[in-house]
Amino acid sequence: MENETTITAEAGAGRLDKFLAEKIPLSRSQIKNAILSGDVQVNGRSAKPSDKLRAGDTVCIRQEPPKATDTMPEDIPVDIVYQDTSIAVVNKPQGMVVHPAPGHYTGTLVNALLFHLSDLSGVGGEVRPGIVHRIDKNTSGLLVVAKNDAAHASLSAQIAAKTARRIYAAIVHGNIKEEQLRIDQPIGRSRRDRKKMAVDAAGRDAVTHIRVMERFGEYTYIEAELETGRTHQIRVHLAHIHRPVAGDDVYGPKKVRLHNGGQLLHAKTLILAHPETGEQMTFAAPLPGYFERALSGLRNKAGKA
The pLDDT tens digits for 290-301 are 999 999 999 998
Please give the pLDDT value at position 222. 98
Please give the pLDDT value at position 64. 62
Q: Specify whether the CB–CB gap between 178 and 192 falls below 8 A.
A: no
Same domain? 93 vs 142: yes
The answer to whether residue 274 sits within a structural domain is no
Q: How confident is the model at residue 304 (pLDDT cuts 50, 70, 90)?
A: low
The answer to whether residue 284 sits within a structural domain is no
pLDDT of residue 284 exceeding 50, the answer is: yes
CATH number for position 136: 3.30.2350.10
Instruction: Detail the DSSP E strand segments found in 75-122.
Output: 79-83, 87-92
Alpha carbon distance 217, 299 (integer Å):
11
**Averaged confidence pLDDT in the chain:** 88
pLDDT of residue 31 exceeding 50, the answer is: yes
Please give the pLDDT value at position 21. 79
The answer to whether residue 275 sits within a structural domain is no
Same domain? 175 vs 236: yes
The answer to whether residue 70 sits within a structural domain is yes
Please give the pLDDT value at position 25. 63
Domain boundary (160, 190, 221) is at 160
pLDDT in tens, 216-229: 999 999 999 999 98
Alpha carbon distance 198, 188 (integer Å):
6
pLDDT of residue 189 exceeding 90, the answer is: no
The answer to whether residue 29 sits within a structural domain is yes
Same domain? 148 vs 207: no
Same domain? 144 vs 102: yes
Annotation marks residue 119 as catalytic = no
Same domain? 110 vs 220: no
Same domain? 137 vs 202: no
Q: Specify whether the CB–CB gap between 157 and 144 falls below 8 A.
A: no
CATH number for position 20: 3.10.290.10
Same domain? 59 vs 82: no
Please give the pLDDT value at position 104. 72
Please give the pLDDT value at position 127. 46
173, amino acid identity: H
Same domain? 155 vs 172: no
Structural domain that includes position 186: 165-267+290-302
The answer to whether residue 280 sits within a structural domain is no
The count of C-alpha atoms lying within 13 angstroms of the C-alpha of 239, restricted to the half-sphere facing its C-beta, is 19
Question: What percentage of the chain reaches a pLDDT higher than 90?
Answer: 50
> Of 38-42, 176-180, 242-246, which range is least confident?
38-42
Residue of 17, 57, 136, 248 with catalytic role? 136
Q: Length of the chain, please? A: 305
Q: How confident is the model at residue 251 (pLDDT cuts 50, 70, 90)?
A: very high
Domain boundary (35, 63, 91) is at 63
pLDDT in tens, 98-155: 887 767 778 888 888 888 887 777 655 544 678 888 899 999 999 999 998 889 889 9
Domain boundary (136, 160, 184) is at 160
Please give the pLDDT value at position 67. 47
Please give the pLDDT value at position 79. 95
Same domain? 118 vs 175: no
Same domain? 70 vs 151: yes
The answer to whether residue 260 sits within a structural domain is yes
The total of structural domains in the chain comes to: 3
The count of C-alpha atoms lying within 13 angstroms of the C-alpha of 114, restricted to the half-sphere facing its C-beta, is 21
CA nearest neighbour of 265 among 242, 238, 240: 238
Q: How confident is the model at residue 246 (pLDDT cuts 50, 70, 90)?
A: very high
The answer to whether residue 182 sits within a structural domain is yes
Same domain? 16 vs 71: no
Same domain? 81 vs 100: yes
Please give the pLDDT value at position 292. 96
